[in-house]
Chain A
Amino acid sequence: DIVMTQSPDSLAVSLGERATIYCKSSQSVVYSSNNKNYLAWYQQKPGQPPKLLIYWASTRESGVPDRFSGSGSGTDFTFTISSLQAEDVAVYYCQQYYSSPYSFGQGTKLEIK
Protein backbone atom coordinates (compact mmCIF):
# COMPACT_ATOMS: atom_id res chain seq x y z
CA ASP A 1 0.00 0.00 0.00
CA ILE A 2 1.14 3.57 -0.69
CA VAL A 3 1.68 5.73 2.39
CA MET A 4 1.18 9.48 2.00
CA THR A 5 3.04 11.75 4.41
CA GLN A 6 2.32 15.45 4.66
CA SER A 7 4.42 18.13 6.29
CA PRO A 8 4.02 20.08 8.37
CA ASP A 9 1.10 18.82 10.48
CA SER A 10 0.12 22.42 11.15
CA LEU A 11 1.06 25.78 9.74
CA ALA A 12 0.39 29.39 10.73
CA VAL A 13 0.78 32.04 8.05
CA SER A 14 0.04 35.75 8.00
CA LEU A 15 -2.72 37.09 5.77
CA GLY A 16 -1.37 37.84 2.30
CA GLU A 17 1.67 35.62 2.77
CA ARG A 18 2.50 32.34 1.04
CA ALA A 19 1.54 28.99 2.54
CA THR A 20 3.29 25.82 1.38
CA ILE A 21 2.39 22.22 2.21
CA TYR A 22 4.38 19.15 1.23
CA CYS A 23 3.20 15.66 0.44
CA LYS A 24 5.44 12.65 -0.06
CA SER A 25 4.33 9.25 -1.32
CA SER A 26 6.08 6.01 -0.37
CA GLN A 27 6.28 5.09 -4.04
CA SER A 28 5.92 6.90 -7.33
CA VAL A 29 2.37 7.83 -8.38
CA VAL A 30 3.25 8.55 -12.01
CA TYR A 31 1.88 6.28 -14.70
CA SER A 32 4.51 5.84 -17.40
CA SER A 33 1.81 5.29 -20.04
CA ASN A 34 0.49 8.86 -19.78
CA ASN A 35 3.10 10.61 -17.60
CA LYS A 36 0.38 11.83 -15.23
CA ASN A 37 0.79 12.13 -11.48
CA TYR A 38 -2.20 10.51 -9.76
CA LEU A 39 -2.30 13.01 -6.91
CA ALA A 40 -5.07 15.31 -5.68
CA TRP A 41 -5.40 18.01 -3.02
CA TYR A 42 -8.54 18.68 -0.98
CA GLN A 43 -9.59 21.41 1.41
CA GLN A 44 -11.81 20.67 4.39
CA LYS A 45 -13.37 23.40 6.48
CA PRO A 46 -14.98 22.63 9.87
CA GLY A 47 -18.33 20.91 9.58
CA GLN A 48 -18.03 20.47 5.81
CA PRO A 49 -17.06 17.62 3.53
CA PRO A 50 -13.74 17.86 1.71
CA LYS A 51 -13.61 19.93 -1.45
CA LEU A 52 -11.45 19.08 -4.45
CA LEU A 53 -8.93 21.81 -5.28
CA ILE A 54 -6.22 20.22 -7.43
CA TYR A 55 -5.96 16.98 -9.42
CA TRP A 56 -3.27 15.44 -11.61
CA ALA A 57 -0.95 17.15 -9.10
CA SER A 58 -1.28 20.56 -10.75
CA THR A 59 -4.68 20.97 -12.46
CA ARG A 60 -7.00 23.34 -10.66
CA GLU A 61 -10.63 22.28 -10.34
CA SER A 62 -13.10 24.58 -12.06
CA GLY A 63 -13.94 27.58 -9.90
CA VAL A 64 -10.92 27.27 -7.62
CA PRO A 65 -9.08 30.59 -7.23
CA ASP A 66 -5.71 30.79 -8.95
CA ARG A 67 -3.94 31.55 -5.67
CA PHE A 68 -4.11 27.77 -5.13
CA SER A 69 -1.54 25.73 -7.04
CA GLY A 70 0.09 22.32 -7.01
CA SER A 71 3.36 21.02 -8.32
CA GLY A 72 5.72 18.08 -8.12
CA SER A 73 6.16 14.68 -9.68
CA GLY A 74 6.94 11.10 -8.77
CA THR A 75 6.98 10.99 -4.99
CA ASP A 76 7.29 14.62 -3.92
CA PHE A 77 4.53 17.19 -4.24
CA THR A 78 3.89 20.74 -3.13
CA PHE A 79 0.66 22.65 -2.55
CA THR A 80 0.86 26.43 -2.41
CA ILE A 81 -1.48 29.25 -1.54
CA SER A 82 0.24 32.32 -2.97
CA SER A 83 -1.51 34.92 -0.83
CA LEU A 84 -3.39 33.58 2.17
CA GLN A 85 -6.94 34.78 2.66
CA ALA A 86 -8.98 34.44 5.84
CA GLU A 87 -11.33 31.98 4.15
CA ASP A 88 -8.43 29.60 3.44
CA VAL A 89 -8.28 28.49 7.07
CA ALA A 90 -8.90 24.76 6.79
CA VAL A 91 -7.27 21.35 6.83
CA TYR A 92 -5.65 20.31 3.57
CA TYR A 93 -5.19 16.70 2.43
CA CYS A 94 -3.31 15.08 -0.41
CA GLN A 95 -4.54 11.80 -1.86
CA GLN A 96 -3.03 9.35 -4.30
CA TYR A 97 -5.28 7.57 -6.78
CA TYR A 98 -2.49 5.58 -8.42
CA SER A 99 -3.33 2.30 -6.72
CA SER A 100 -5.93 0.94 -4.33
CA PRO A 101 -6.26 1.64 -1.43
CA TYR A 102 -6.36 5.28 -2.57
CA SER A 103 -4.78 6.70 0.56
CA PHE A 104 -4.83 10.19 2.01
CA GLY A 105 -2.11 12.09 3.81
CA GLN A 106 -2.72 12.78 7.49
CA GLY A 107 -3.73 16.39 6.81
CA THR A 108 -2.19 19.81 7.41
CA LYS A 109 -4.05 22.34 9.53
CA LEU A 110 -3.62 25.86 8.18
CA GLU A 111 -4.24 28.81 10.48
CA ILE A 112 -3.76 32.57 10.44
CA LYS A 113 -0.71 33.92 12.29
Chain B
Amino acid sequence: EVQLLQSGAEVKKSGESLKISCKGTRHNFTNYWIGWVRQMPGKGLEWMGIIYPDDSETRYSPSFQGQVTISADKSISAVFLQWSSLKASDTAMYYCARHGIVAGTITHFDAWGLGTLVSVSS
Protein backbone atom coordinates (compact mmCIF):
# COMPACT_ATOMS: atom_id res chain seq x y z
CA GLU B 1 0.00 0.00 0.00
CA VAL B 2 1.26 3.44 -0.96
CA GLN B 3 2.13 5.66 1.99
CA LEU B 4 2.80 9.38 1.98
CA LEU B 5 4.32 10.49 5.29
CA GLN B 6 4.07 14.19 6.02
CA SER B 7 6.07 16.23 8.49
CA GLY B 8 4.54 17.43 11.73
CA ALA B 9 2.48 20.46 12.58
CA GLU B 10 4.18 23.85 12.55
CA VAL B 11 3.53 27.03 14.51
CA LYS B 12 5.22 30.09 13.00
CA LYS B 13 5.07 33.87 12.96
CA SER B 14 4.42 36.13 10.00
CA GLY B 15 7.54 36.75 7.99
CA GLU B 16 9.23 33.49 8.95
CA SER B 17 10.23 30.85 6.43
CA LEU B 18 9.04 27.26 6.41
CA LYS B 19 9.63 24.03 4.51
CA ILE B 20 7.34 21.03 5.02
CA SER B 21 7.90 17.57 3.63
CA CYS B 22 6.17 14.53 2.20
CA LYS B 23 8.00 11.22 1.92
CA GLY B 24 6.79 8.34 -0.16
CA THR B 25 7.12 4.70 0.77
CA ARG B 26 6.11 1.40 -0.77
CA HIS B 27 5.97 2.67 -4.33
CA ASN B 28 8.21 4.00 -7.08
CA PHE B 29 7.91 7.55 -5.77
CA THR B 30 10.08 9.24 -8.35
CA ASN B 31 7.91 8.22 -11.31
CA TYR B 32 4.64 9.73 -10.11
CA TRP B 33 3.49 13.33 -9.97
CA ILE B 34 3.14 14.42 -6.33
CA GLY B 35 0.88 17.35 -5.55
CA TRP B 36 0.09 19.73 -2.72
CA VAL B 37 -3.45 20.68 -1.73
CA ARG B 38 -4.38 23.48 0.65
CA GLN B 39 -7.38 23.42 2.94
CA MET B 40 -7.94 26.60 4.90
CA PRO B 41 -9.92 26.31 8.16
CA GLY B 42 -13.50 25.28 7.40
CA LYS B 43 -12.96 25.64 3.65
CA GLY B 44 -12.60 23.45 0.58
CA LEU B 45 -9.71 21.84 -1.24
CA GLU B 46 -7.37 23.94 -3.40
CA TRP B 47 -4.91 22.35 -5.84
CA MET B 48 -1.60 24.19 -5.44
CA GLY B 49 0.81 22.46 -7.77
CA ILE B 50 2.69 19.28 -8.57
CA ILE B 51 6.20 17.98 -9.07
CA TYR B 52 7.69 14.97 -10.85
CA PRO B 53 10.48 13.93 -8.48
CA ASP B 54 12.54 12.15 -11.14
CA ASP B 55 13.39 15.38 -12.97
CA SER B 56 11.78 18.00 -10.66
CA GLU B 57 9.48 19.30 -13.40
CA THR B 58 6.96 21.48 -11.60
CA ARG B 59 3.55 22.90 -12.44
CA TYR B 60 1.82 25.52 -10.29
CA SER B 61 -1.70 26.81 -10.04
CA PRO B 62 -1.67 30.50 -11.01
CA SER B 63 -3.16 31.21 -7.56
CA PHE B 64 -0.01 29.87 -5.88
CA GLN B 65 2.70 30.66 -8.46
CA GLY B 66 5.28 32.87 -6.79
CA GLN B 67 3.76 32.35 -3.35
CA VAL B 68 5.27 28.94 -2.62
CA THR B 69 8.04 26.72 -3.94
CA ILE B 70 7.63 23.01 -4.59
CA SER B 71 10.80 20.96 -4.74
CA ALA B 72 11.94 17.35 -4.52
CA ASP B 73 14.86 15.19 -3.47
CA LYS B 74 14.51 11.91 -5.28
CA SER B 75 17.41 10.36 -3.40
CA ILE B 76 15.24 10.27 -0.28
CA SER B 77 11.84 10.00 -2.02
CA ALA B 78 10.70 13.33 -0.66
CA VAL B 79 8.91 16.39 -1.93
CA PHE B 80 8.74 19.73 -0.18
CA LEU B 81 6.53 22.80 0.05
CA GLN B 82 8.32 25.97 1.02
CA TRP B 83 7.50 29.55 1.97
CA SER B 84 10.09 32.32 2.18
CA SER B 85 7.89 34.71 4.16
CA LEU B 86 4.74 33.34 5.78
CA LYS B 87 1.54 35.32 6.17
CA ALA B 88 -1.31 34.74 8.59
CA SER B 89 -3.43 33.80 5.57
CA ASP B 90 -1.15 30.78 4.99
CA THR B 91 -2.72 29.15 8.06
CA ALA B 92 -4.17 25.90 6.72
CA MET B 93 -3.87 22.15 6.48
CA TYR B 94 -1.60 21.12 3.64
CA TYR B 95 -1.97 17.69 2.09
CA CYS B 96 0.40 15.95 -0.25
CA ALA B 97 -1.15 13.47 -2.63
CA ARG B 98 -0.05 11.24 -5.49
CA HIS B 99 -1.52 11.62 -8.97
CA GLY B 100 -1.98 8.35 -10.78
CA ILE B 101 -0.53 7.88 -14.26
CA VAL B 102 -2.20 6.06 -17.15
CA ALA B 103 -0.34 5.80 -20.46
CA GLY B 104 1.79 8.76 -19.44
CA THR B 105 -1.24 10.91 -18.61
CA ILE B 106 -1.80 12.44 -15.18
CA THR B 107 -4.96 11.15 -13.52
CA HIS B 108 -6.81 11.46 -10.21
CA PHE B 109 -5.20 11.59 -6.77
CA ASP B 110 -4.95 7.94 -5.71
CA ALA B 111 -3.15 8.33 -2.37
CA TRP B 112 -3.07 11.06 0.25
CA GLY B 113 -0.93 12.00 3.20
CA LEU B 114 -2.55 12.78 6.54
CA GLY B 115 -1.77 16.48 6.22
CA THR B 116 0.50 19.03 7.87
CA LEU B 117 -1.20 21.79 9.86
CA VAL B 118 0.54 25.13 9.50
CA SER B 119 -0.48 27.90 11.91
CA VAL B 120 0.87 31.39 11.32
CA SER B 121 0.32 34.17 13.82
CA SER B 122 0.59 37.83 13.05
Query: What is A's interface to B at a CB cutoff of 8 Å?
Result: 1, 38, 40, 42, 44, 49-52, 55, 61, 91, 93, 95, 97, 100-107
Contact = CB atoms under 8 A, between A and B. Distances in A.
Contacts of A1: 61-62
Given A49-B112, A95-B45, 4 more contacts: A40-B108, A97-B107, A97-B108, A102-B106
Chain B residues touching A, majority SS: strand
Size band of the interface chain B makes with A: 20 to 34
Interface of B: 35, 37, 44-47, 49-50, 59-63, 95, 97, 99-100, 106-110, 112-115
15 contacts: A49-B112, A49-B114, A50-B97, A50-B112, A52-B109, A55-B110, A95-B47, A97-B106, A97-B108, A100-B50, A100-B61, A101-B59, A102-B35, A104-B37, A105-B44
